[in-house]
Amino acid sequence: MAGAAPTPSPEAGGSDATYARLRRPLLAPTWTVIGVFLLLPVLLMVVYSFLTKEFRGGVEWDFTLAAYDQFFVTRGLFGDEPAQIEWTYITIFWRSIWQAGLATFLCLLIGFPTAWFIATRPEASRPIWLFLITIPYWVNLLIRTVSLRFILRDQGPMNDALIGLGVISQPLEILNTNLAVQLGLFYSYLPFMVLPIYAAVERYNFALSEAAADLGANRWRALFEVVLPVVRPGIVAGCILVFVPALGAFLAPDLLGGAKTFMIGSLIDEQFRGSQGNWPFGAAVSVILMTLVLIVLMIQARAAARAGQ
Amino acid sequence: MKRLLALTTLLATPAFAEGELKVYHWFEYIPQELVDKFTAETGITVTIDTYDSNEAMLASLKAGKLGQYDVAVPGDYMVEIMRGEGILGEYAPEEMPNFANIEPQWLDVPFDPGRKHSIPYQWGSTAFSVNRDVYQGDINSLGIIFNPPEELKGKINVLDSQGEVLALGSLYLGIPQCTTDREQLKALNDMLLAAKENWASFGSDIAKDVLVSGDAAAGMIYNGFSAKARAEGANVEYAFPKEGYVLWMDNMVLLKDAPNRDNAIKFMNFLLDPQNAAAVTNYAAYSPGVKGATEFLDAAIKDSPENNPPADQKGEFIIACDAETQALYDAIWTNLKK
């Protein structure tokens, strides 16, 4: 590992001069990690998105906007009609954003009460509840998604149980629908919602709720005007942690939705597979996706800054 | 590991002066006993390096490995691509006494007309299978997938693979592959969009499992997958539709600048011996392309219905289109899945 910093000798510890001298070497590992694992891949992706597609996979080092042109502009199947806006990929983006947004909303709906419940248990039992939340996530996401597929099948355990209990007479056909994708996304990312909200609620001073009640606020008013503003950072962090990975997810759409319609993740995946791939286009879609996510994060950061003032 | 095995045979063989052979091969696609047999017969030491996809093999050869290997085993379309890249060596049939053993139907293949660069290694087919508990009617047509009967609607899995889906769709409509005819391409596009309404899912890895579990009652599938589904107890029948089916074939090619060309020719000749071709098939469970190999096959493989297309129903190889035409097919595929 580059920049293995020398350990400061005990007698030098605490002196400002020592820190100033060691600042660079101590930061070197961080900068190396950020550079090699974050900046370099992103830079590579941006550069690739402007290169020319090599037939049957790979790139040629000729700079072009062809990948972005393919994303936004259509000239018909045969390329000789007047240029129009290409709705195909925008539709795929819109569908993915909608699915990820709905998953985030559902996670919030279930995640907030769950986090509240855990945070209001006696302090000794809270770790057990958190432990229970995290247990399923010791198993690989792929295995969990395949298992969900098995559970949701027409002749699967869920339908067998519901029919056995007399709730339904015909099996529910959930597998290979958007509902199944939604369930998969919700299930995959729920703890990312619960944990940050829990951290925020745990720090919440419950005396504030009592004060609100004493001052005549009903339960809803206390929730919306006292509790939510205080735990808001946790909610926002949870929403981002769910929304962003759900937006790029491709396991759930492929395995639970039957891969019938592209989502952003599967569209990108397809561009790097086999001999029919299109690397620059895959990179361009990734860049557009990343730009969208950055815009959302910037709006959020600005709103947070404004709220903080 | 493989190098080590080859070394062991080297030590056990007195005639190691005969030289060596460098094979670039799929993983687990040739039985070690067969390699040992070749070494015992010829004294040639065989070194095998492996790859896991046609594209990986091509990329590695183009990145500088060409000239280090004597033979490789590309799939049909990849032979054509490699031929176009000019990285294949050429041989004359007279150099291989066993050349005459190649089954006539595999001699003049579109990807290597007249077999100047390659010999058949193994072949199989891609079509579809139907769960006979669900549907008892005639399954002799690709209409089962593209215009399904009522019993099968909404219970069909198709391969999540552009090449196979578009080739089978073209066969169903009777239009040639790699066509640039507007009407034909539009017809293909419209037919697929209408057919998709009746499909439950796209999936290649799951193609066998959905048939065994009953999630799908019919599905596009590779013949080997269908045989496995049957072996696992599913009442599925593999169809060889009258409109045609997709063929695939892995071929051993002589590489350009082969360091041991003579030994490569000897090895290819060796693999065209019926008994040796059968040994590969008994190991890989596909089909040999060599005359007389059938009698050396295990009964389960020889009599497998998935391995024995009716003589009058022909398959087609997927053709590698040029870049401009391929872009049209890419657009149809994206259109189908958007």
In a 13 Å sphere around the CA of A196, the CA atoms on its Cβ side amount to: 18
Closest CA of chain B from A12, distance in Å: 53
Asked if B81 lies within 8 A of A275 by C-beta distance, the reply is yes
CA–centroid distance for B231 within its chain = 21
Query: Is the distance from CB of A172 to CB of A155 less than 8 angstroms?
Result: no
Mean pLDDT of A36-56: 91
Mark whether B114 and B262 lie in a shared domain: yes
Residues of chain B found within 8 Å of residue A153, distances taken between Cβ atoms? 213, 215
Give me A218's structure tokens: 């009903």
Q: Is B77 at the interface with chain A, CB within 8 A? A: yes
pLDDT band at A5 (very low <50, low <70, confident <90, very high): very low
How far apart CA B85 and CA B98 sit, in angstroms, is 28
CA distance B213 to A285: 36
Do both B268 and B146 map to the same domain?
no
Q: Read off the pLDDT of each residue in A212-238 and give the average, rounded to a whole number.
A: 89
Q: Quote the pLDDT of residue A225.
A: 87
Chain position carrying tokens 């590969």: B280
| Residue A212 Cα, gap to closest chain B Cα (Å) | 51
- Give residue B3's pLDDT: 52
Give the C-alpha separation, B10 to A142, whole Å: 44
pLDDT bucket at A216, cuts 50 / 70 / 90: confident
Give the gap in angstroms from C-alpha A95 to the nearest C-alpha of chain B. Answer: 10
Domain count, chain B: 2
Do B143 and B82 fall into the same domain?
no
Determine the distance in angstroms separating the CA of B200 from the nearest CA of chain A, rounded to an integer. Answer: 6
Q: B230 and B154, same structural domain? A: yes
Range of the domain at B100: 2-121+248-307
SS3 content of chain B, % helix, strand, coil (to 5): 45, 20, 35
Q: Does B338 touch chain A (CB under 8 A)?
A: yes
Please determine, for residue A4, whether its predicted confidence score (pLDDT) is greater than 70: no
Q: Examine the domain organization and report whether B298 and B314 are in the same domain.
A: no
Query: Quick check: B323 and A55 CB within 8 A?
Result: yes
Q: What is the pLDDT of residue A274?
A: 62
Interface residues of chain A, partner chain B, Cβ below 8 Å: 55-58, 77-79, 88-89, 91-92, 153-155, 173, 175-176, 254-255, 258-262, 274-276, 278
Q: Looking at chain A, which residues constitute the CATH 1.10.3720.10 domain(s)?
A: 86-271
Question: Residue B18's closest CA among B40, B38, B44?
Answer: B44
More confident residue, A93 or A55: A93
Given a contact cutoff of 8 angstroms between Cβ atoms, the answer to whether B257 and B237 are in contact is: no
Chain A environment of B333 (Cβ under 8 Å): 276
For an interface test with A, the pick among B133, B157, B190, B334 (most A C-beta atoms closer than 10 Å) comes out as: B334
Residue A214 has pLDDT above 80, yes or no: yes
Label each residue of A142-187 as H, E or C: HHHHHHHHHHHCCCCHHHHHHHHCCCCCCCCCCCCCHHHHHHHHHH
Of the options 1.10.238.10, 1.10.3720.10, 1.10.150.120, 1.20.140.10, the CATH number for the domain spanning A86-271? 1.10.3720.10
| Pairwise CA distance, residues B244 & B167, whole Å | 10
Q: Which of A88, A153, A274 sits opposite B334 (nearest CB)?
A: A88
Nearest-CA residue of chain A relative to B330?
A276
Percent of chain A at pLDDT above 90?
47
Note whether B74 and B89 are same-domain residues: yes
Distance from the B121 Cα atom to the nearest Cα atom in chain A, whole angstroms: 22
Same domain flag for B258 and B291: yes
Residues B180 and B328 in one domain: yes
pLDDT computed for residue A122 by the predictor:
93
Residues of B in contact with A173 (CB under 8 A): 154
Helices (H), chain B: 2-12, 32-42, 54-60, 76-85, 143-146, 162-173, 182-196, 207-213, 223-231, 261-271, 274-284, 299-302, 323-337
Q: Which residues of chain B are within 8 Å of residue A170 when distances are taken between CB atoms?
A: none
Residues B224 and B258 in one domain: no
From chain A, the residues in CB contact with B199 under 8 A are: 258, 260
Which chain B residues are closer than 8 Å to A275 by Cβ? Answer: 54-55, 77, 81
- The distance of A258 to chain B (nearest Cα, Å) reads 4
Residues B34 and B72 in one domain: yes
Name the token pair of A272: 């790097």
Same domain for B230 and B94? no
Least confident of A188-192, A231-235, B51-55: B51-55
In chain B, residues with a C-beta closer than 8 Å to the C-beta of A276 are 162-163, 326, 330, 333
Q: What share of chain A is helix, strand, coil (3-state, %, to 5)?
A: 70, 5, 25
Per the CB < 8 Å rule, is B202 touching A91?
A: no
Pick out chain B residues at pLDDT < 70. Answer: 1-17
**CATH number of the CATH domain containing B301:** 3.40.190.10
Q: Indicate if the pLDDT at residue A53 is higher than 70.
A: yes
**What is the band of A261 on the pLDDT scale with cuts at 50, 70, 90?**
confident
pLDDT digits (tens, 9 = 90+) for A270-285: 888 766 678 899 999 9
Q: Which of A55, A153, A258 sits opposite B213 (nearest CB)?
A: A153
Backbone angles phi, psi at A180, to 5 degrees: -65, -40
Q: Are residues B225 and B264 in the same domain?
A: no
- Give the pLDDT confidence score for residue B280 in this predicted structure: 95
In this predicted structure, what is the pLDDT of residue B53? 83
Closest residue in B to A255 (Cα) is B203
A158, A183 contact by CB (below 8 A): no
Q: Are A278 and B163 inside 8 Å of each other by CB?
A: no
Give the whole-angstrom CA distance, residue A67 versus residue A264: 15
- Beta strand A52-53 with B218-222: parallel, antiparallel or unpaired? unpaired
Size of interface A-B (CB pairs under 8 A): 72
Q: How far apart are CA B338 and CA A116, in angstroms?
A: 40
B53, B160, B331 member nearest A259 (Cβ):
B160
Q: To the nearest whole angstrom, how far is the Cα of B95 from the nearest Cα of chain A?
A: 33
